[in-house]
A and B are shown apart, each in its own frame.
Chain A
Amino acid sequence: MISAPAICSAVLIAAAPAGIARADEAALHLKDSPDAALVVSKCSICHSVDYIQSNAPFLKRAGWEAEVRKMVKVMGAPLDEAELARVVDYLTLQYGSDAP
């Protein structure tokens, strides 16, 4: 399991002093997988990762990709195309509805 704040606290302090994580956010864990750390480090810049957990498991790959692309294009999430692909893969496999 990946502890969200353990991974993201440095990111938050560096990039987002205003969005300080609340204590209870520390209890959130995303499903274990090599790219979980990438997902936590990118997504939790702006929001707690319970957004991922609660939006599951009903999105198919296209749905998760649309969400991540919206986060990049509209919300300004700092992911390049390769990172975006890894995040979409992770969300599809771990929190999607059409995982193999």
Chain B
Amino acid sequence: MVIRTRRSLLQTALGGLGLLGAGLSGPLARAGLPAGTLASAVLDALAGKRPLLKRSYRPPNYESPVSYLNEVITPNDRFFVRWHLADIPTIDVASWRLSIGGDGASRPFELTLAQLQHEFEPVELTAVCQCAGNRRGLSDPHVPGVQWGNGAMGNARWKGARLKDLLARAGLAKEAVEIAFNGADGPVLEATPDFTKSIPAWKALDENTLVAYEMNGEPLPHWNGYPARIIVPGWTATYWMKQVVSIRALAQPLSSFWMNTAYRIPKGKFPVVDRFLSQESETTTPVTEILVNSLITNLEEGQRFRAGSAIVVQGLAWDGGAGLRRVEVSIDGGRSWQSAQFGADLGRYSARAWQYAFTPRARGRVAVAARASNAQGATQTEQLIFNPAGYYNNVIQPISLEVT
């Protein structure tokens, strides 16, 4: 196994994990991004954002450096950015309207932003927004797509109206099987499928599913969906439609490239609990809830420490809302595990901070890793569950420290 002993800070900041190897002979291996991804990444600031790791300029796909995730709430200007299509309008709130209707709703209507804010009971909750393809770039073998490292995720307080309250006003019919969303963004070419998504009616009626107009107490940033986006707590961000302009109740499953072909996983391969039955095929099913996961956020690969001095390991853990049970830390490459200490509980859809301190006595390499598990008994995997689109990577990731 090849071990790289030094890495530039820049490369670490760019999400460069370099070569493989936990540094010890434990069961865990550290995956790396493709060489071309490392070479083309730059820290670049979109308007209103701090520098993020640019994966593509157009459409803009930018991830948070891991250090930005060292706070349990991700500030708006550090929150990742993900768009599928390049025509992203600047929204004029005076003319923006949200229409609620569809063949599964008897009383279609429209809302201004002020009406959305004032005519429905506001609800605020904290939830992880994580791209289903977060960590795709760490797939082994690599698979095509946006080559995300660990930062296509963030945790924020979202305030908005309950989707179920909007649907009730629209006269939702019992026959509605899915609720479909469209945003103001669109494709460059007319021939390109517009980005539309749907969720099952039962998930749309969950009291935690929102049409949010605030993020961390502020209007949503343009890049994160101003003036309103769908919040589907516990589910991957593909359903969290940005710049939402249309909500439709459907008596038939949505037919859309982005539902029928994209964002699907092989059936039966992942420990998902939530099923999206109206969109299942013989062999594949849409991604649904976020898998239990964790991330060390305060340490960098190859970081140096002194023998005899305490090392504090801290990070985040999160899942799809079942409830975190524990985070364990290994300092021997995954052979043995000790419980970490949880920080404040901000709700079942929120990420939770944790930390673990230890004092290395001997010099040499220490392979540190974290592993979360939840109330359903699910935990992170040691080996990648390979799938061709690189979704649902919750592999335990070791970080090699040098004790001198």
Q: Is B261 an interface residue (CB 8 A)?
A: yes
Bound Cα distance from A78 to B57, whole angstroms: 21
Q: Is A76 an interface residue (CB 8 A)?
A: yes
The residue in B41, B56, B257 that gathers the most chain A C-beta atoms within 10 A of its C-beta is: B56
Bound Cα distance from A50 to B186, whole angstroms: 20
Do A74 and B193 have beta carbons less than 8 Å apart? yes
Do A19 and B191 have beta carbons less than 8 Å apart? no
Q: Is A45 an interface residue (CB 8 A)?
A: yes
Instruction: Report A-chain residues with C-beta under 8 Å of the C-beta of B257.
Output: 74
Do A57 and B35 have beta carbons less than 8 Å apart? yes
Q: From residue B116, how far is it (CB to closest CB) to chain A in Å?
A: 26
Do B57 and A48 have beta carbons less than 8 Å apart? yes
Do B55 and A54 have beta carbons less than 8 Å apart? yes
Select the stretch in A20-28, A32-40, A81-89 that faces chain B.
A20-28
Select the stretch in B23-31, B139-147, B208-216 that faces chain A.
B139-147
> Contacting A46 at CB < 8 Å: which of B34, B54, B189?
B189
Bound Cα distance from A27 to B326, whole angstroms: 46
> Contacting A59 at CB < 8 Å: which of B54, B144, B188?
B144
Encoded as 1 (CB less than 8 Å from any B CB) or 0, chain A from 57 to 70 comes to 11100010001000
Q: From residue A24, how far is it (CB to closest CB) to chain B in Å?
A: 6
Do A54 and B188 have beta carbons less than 8 Å apart? no
Do B141 and A58 have beta carbons less than 8 Å apart? yes
Instruction: Report A-chain residues with C-beta under 8 Å of the C-beta of B144.
Output: 55, 59, 63, 67
User: Closest chain A residue to B190 by CB distance?
Assistant: A76
Do A76 and B56 have beta carbons less than 8 Å apart? no
Known contacts: A46-B86, A46-B192, A63-B144. The answer to whether A56 contacts B59 by CB under 8 A is no
> Contacting B193 at CB < 8 Å: which of A16, A25, A51, A75?
A75
Q: Is B58 an interface residue (CB 8 A)?
A: yes
The size of the chain B interface, using a CB distance under 8 A, is: 35
Instruction: Report B-chain residues with C-beta under 8 Å of the C-beta of A55.
Output: 34, 36-37, 144-145, 147
Would you list which residues of chain B between 22 and 52 have a CB under 8 Å from chain A? Answer: 34-37, 39-42, 44
Known contacts: A18-B86, A54-B41, A58-B142. The answer to whether A25 contacts B34 by CB under 8 A is no
Instruction: Report B-chain residues with C-beta under 8 Å of the C-beta of A59.
Output: 144
> Contacting A22 at CB < 8 Å: which of B42, B58, B147?
B58
Instruction: Report B-chain residues with C-beta under 8 Å of the C-beta of A56.
Output: 34-36
Known contacts: A25-B57, A48-B58, A51-B56. The answer to whether A15 contacts B189 by CB under 8 A is yes
Instruction: Report B-chain residues with C-beta under 8 Å of the C-beta of A63.
Output: 144
User: Closest chain B residue to A67 by CB distance?
Assistant: B144
Bound Cα distance from A55 to B37, whole angstroms: 7
Do A50 and B54 have beta carbons less than 8 Å apart? yes
Known contacts: A54-B56, A54-B147, A56-B34. The answer to whether A18 contacts B87 by CB under 8 A is yes
Do A53 and B39 have beta carbons less than 8 Å apart? yes
Q: From residue B147, how far is it (CB to closest CB) to chain A in Å?
A: 5
Q: From residue B28, how far is it (CB to closest CB) to chain A in Å?
A: 22
Bound Cα distance from A46 to B54, whole angstroms: 17
Instruction: Report A-chain residues with C-beta under 8 Å of the C-beta of B56.
Output: 47-48, 50-51, 54
Bound Cα distance from A50 to B57, whole angstroms: 7
Known contacts: A46-B187, A51-B56. The answer to whether A24 contacts B44 by CB under 8 A is yes
Q: From residue A8, how far is it (CB to closest CB) to chain B in Å?
A: 11
The residue in A16, A55, A78 that gathers the most chain B C-beta atoms within 10 A of its C-beta is: A55
Would you list which residues of chain B between 152 and 198 have a CB under 8 Å from chain A? Answer: 186-193
Q: Is A95 an interface residue (CB 8 A)?
A: yes
The residue in A15, A51, A77 that gathers the most chain B C-beta atoms within 10 A of its C-beta is: A51
Do B86 and A19 have beta carbons less than 8 Å apart? yes
Bound Cα distance from A51 to B188, whole angstroms: 16
Instruction: Report B-chain residues with C-beta under 8 Å of the C-beta of A48.
Output: 56-58
What are the 7 A-B residue pairs with the smallest beta carbon separation, nearest first?
Answer: A76-B191, A56-B36, A18-B87, A19-B86, A58-B142, A53-B40, A19-B188
21 chain-A/chain-B pairs, Cβ below 8 angstroms: A18-B188, A22-B58, A28-B40, A28-B57, A45-B188, A45-B189, A46-B192, A50-B54, A51-B56, A53-B36, A53-B39, A53-B40, A54-B41, A55-B34, A55-B36, A55-B147, A74-B193, A74-B257, A75-B191, A77-B189, A95-B36
A24-B44, A48-B56, A63-B144 known; 11 other A-B pairs, CB under 8 Å?
A18-B89, A18-B188, A25-B58, A50-B57, A55-B147, A56-B34, A57-B34, A58-B34, A76-B189, A76-B190, A76-B191
